[in-house]
Structure 1
Amino acid sequence: MSVTERPIAEPSRLAHFPVTFFAIGMGMMGLTLATRAAETAFSLANGASLAVLTLSILLLGLVTFGYLLKATFHRSEVAAEWRHPVRIAFFPAISIAFLLMAAALVDVAPHIAKPVWILATVLQGGLALSVISAWIGHRPFQTGMMTPAWFIPAVGNVIVPLAGARLGFTEISWLFFSAGLIFWIVLLTLVMNRLMFHEPMPGKMAPTLMILVAPPAVAFTSWVRLTGETGPFGHVLLSVGYVFALVVATQVLKLRKLPFALSWWALSFPIAALSVASFVYSHAAASEAHRWIGAGLLALLLIVVAGLILRTAVAIREGGICIPE
């Protein structure tokens, strides 16, 4: 066969290693925090949360290593993801995963949590501003391109105080918290308009509907970390989280019929966030009901994460992930 007749080699799977893999890091770190909150609520030893934290750090490390390799050897593919109208919103999942790791490390290794938090906060600020700049720039975004995944940059901002307030970075935490809240309100209006008045989301993105739960749930926990109390505003945030959880629950039967994709990991972190918020409110208000709501959500989260890990492993083995779309 002559040189001109040779088939063109297909790009390696590494070239198609998606930034959405960082949703795994978010989900696992969320599980760590929810497990830790349950141990505190039920006065248990922290052995389970340490085990989950170890596994979460390992998985996040593997995902980070994989994406760094992609960024080194396939820069054009990374640039293509940045230009993608949906995947661009997943880039702040990188910094969010590490912010959550810092929050999980505050109690067990504060000397490690501090530098991780600082680096992740700087990265979150840069990514959030870059994504928002792309949204309001000259790129032709259409309403149909919007999904609840667009909340991810805003969610990242309200996560900053989880560790930041405890590490003494109060003013920076308030700055990010305020930015997260205002963009959550703006994006909530746009996303609800898209969901109600336009075509249904593509099947792969339908699980991102669960992301509606995350901003108010995380914001409630950050609010308590910053103020030391729940207050009326905290009540509103937690209640809104429950309301959105009930709204998403009405769509469960539809979601069950969809094929697996990495976007299914979007189910995990919001459940974790609402579980943590319930435990936090239980402690602040001495509410036994909220303690058991948190426990129920944690049990659901364990089932969801176990299923996601299994489905992800099967998809990797069968070559259903890291393929061109």
Structure 2
Amino acid sequence: MGLATIINMFCLVCVPAWGEKAAYFIWAIWIFDAIVSVVVAIGIPFILTTRRNGFDLSSMTAAWLLPIVSCVVAAASGAIVADILPKPELALGTILASYILWGIGIPLALMVICIYLQRLMFFKLPPKAMLVSVFLPLGPLGQGGYGIQRLGKSAQRIFPQTDTLSSSAGEVFNAVGLLLGLLLWAFGLVWLTFAVLTLLKSRKFPFNMGWWALTFPLGVFTTCTCTIGQELPSRFFSVLGTIFSVIVVIFWVLVTYHTGRGIVKGDIFVAPCLKDLGRPQTPPGTSA
């Protein structure tokens, strides 16, 4: 996912300055990123399902979404890469591959979110050290909503140039992308409300590196909100996107400050989600 961020900035900043060769270079980097994202998104869940020692549902966290969201991030980056490719045929292939990546990531993420909701209902909230992980479902929902909208805009431009499907296919893909983006945004709003209420209920919880889980989900949800505001004649989404953007910046500053202070004090390098990594797991249905 970090590589996708570099790819996006390279497309927006370096390609306009350096030209066609830079576009082909970053396209090759995106292909590598897409392949790795598929391997991670499918491979890690498969490893989890084939482990000899099973997992207890009560130990599940929203961090299970992180390998899966890599495909969703790569799909959104694919739309940006397609827009800078000089040949429409290559752009078309990139768009179609991005739709496949989106189709891999979003349904799988929705299934994991359902399991995570079941875990919360049966075993209540996670420990205070991991409370901010309840924001993680916003990641695939926000990035998925943004990505499908960007893919729709790219399809609207590329499909007529390559005679793909019909003359109006690009318009249809764009409209469907906006609809799906709006639906994912609405689902993300549910999780945002739930996460905020969770933090308000818990009041005080210690700072740890898990607080960085606030930045990516809120950031991509904000991006999705702003994109909807650009597409729809509604000031509501534009104003809300601006408010979310300010909140994200504040969170970045806050988390960076506490991280820097923790580095100086030497007590920041603690990962709550890994504290049970070395302990043997009790298979389901057996007593400890």
TM-score (norm 2): 0.74
Distance 1:323 1:219, change over 3 A: closer
Aligned to 2:12, the other structure's residue is in SS state coil
One-letter identity of the residue aligned with 2:209:
L
Aligned counterparts, 1:226-265, within 5 A: 226-228=151-153, 229=174, 230-265=177-212
Q: 1:165 aligns with which of 56, 79, 84?
A: 79
2:56 equivalent to 1:142: yes
Cα distance in 2 between the residues matched to 1:323 and 1:304? 20
Cα distance in 2 between the residues matched to 1:105 and 1:241? 29
Cross-structure match for 1:192: 117
Aligned counterparts, 1:201-220, within 5 A: 201-220=126-145
Cα distance in 1 between the residues matched to 2:42 and 2:186? 29
One-letter identity of the residue aligned with 1:209:
V
One-letter identity of the residue aligned with 2:238:
R
Cα distance in 1 between the residues matched to 2:116 and 2:243? 28
Using the TM superposition, give the Cα deviation of residue 147 of structure 1 relative to its aligned residue in structure 2, in angstroms: 0.9
Cα distance in 1 between the residues matched to 2:266 and 2:44? 30
Distance 1:136 1:282, change over 3 A: same
Cross-structure match for 2:227: 280
Cross-structure match for 2:3: 98
Distance 1:185 1:312, change over 3 A: same
Cross-structure match for 2:278: none
Q: 2:31 aligns with which of 94, 118, 125?
A: 118
Runs of 5+ consecutive residues of structure 2 not aligned to the other structure: 16-21, 82-90, 154-173, 276-288
TM-score (norm 1): 0.66
Distance 1:199 1:245, change over 3 A: closer
2:265 equivalent to 1:318: yes
Cα distance in 1 between the residues matched to 2:12 and 2:49? 39
One-letter identity of the residue aligned with 1:133:
F
Contact 2:148–2:178 under 8 Å retained in 1:
no
Distance 1:260 1:299, change over 3 A: same
Cα distance in 1 between the residues matched to 2:62 and 2:270? 23
Aligned to 1:201, the other structure's residue is in SS state coil
Cross-structure match for 2:105: 180
Contact 1:103–1:162 under 8 Å retained in 2:
no
Cross-structure match for 1:309: 256
Cross-structure match for 2:238: 291
Question: How many corresponding residue pairs?
Answer: 230
One-letter identity of the residue aligned with 1:197:
F
Contact 1:157–1:179 under 8 Å retained in 2:
yes
Contact 1:99–1:120 under 8 Å retained in 2:
yes
One-letter identity of the residue aligned with 1:102:
I
**1:190-211 deviation line (CA, Å, top 9, x unaligned):** 0000011115312222111011
Choose 102-111 or 215-224, whichever is displaced more.
102-111
Using the TM superposition, give the Cα deviation of residue 285 of structure 1 relative to its aligned residue in structure 2, in angstroms: 1.0
Contact 1:282–1:291 under 8 Å retained in 2:
yes
Using the TM superposition, give the Cα deviation of residue 323 of structure 1 relative to its aligned residue in structure 2, in angstroms: 5.8
Using the TM superposition, give the Cα deviation of residue 262 of structure 1 relative to its aligned residue in structure 2, in angstroms: 0.5
Runs of 5+ consecutive residues of structure 1 not aligned to the other structure: 1-95
Cross-structure match for 2:168: none
Cross-structure match for 1:154: 68
Greater RCO, CA 8 A, separation 6+: 1
User: RMSD of aligned C-alpha atoms?
Assistant: 1.9
The percentage of aligned residue pairs carrying the same residue is 21
One-letter identity of the residue aligned with 2:179:
P
Cross-structure match for 1:130: 43
Aligned to 2:54, the other structure's residue is in SS state coil
Cα distance in 2 between the residues matched to 1:297 and 1:219? 17
Using the TM superposition, give the Cα deviation of residue 128 of structure 1 relative to its aligned residue in structure 2, in angstroms: 2.0
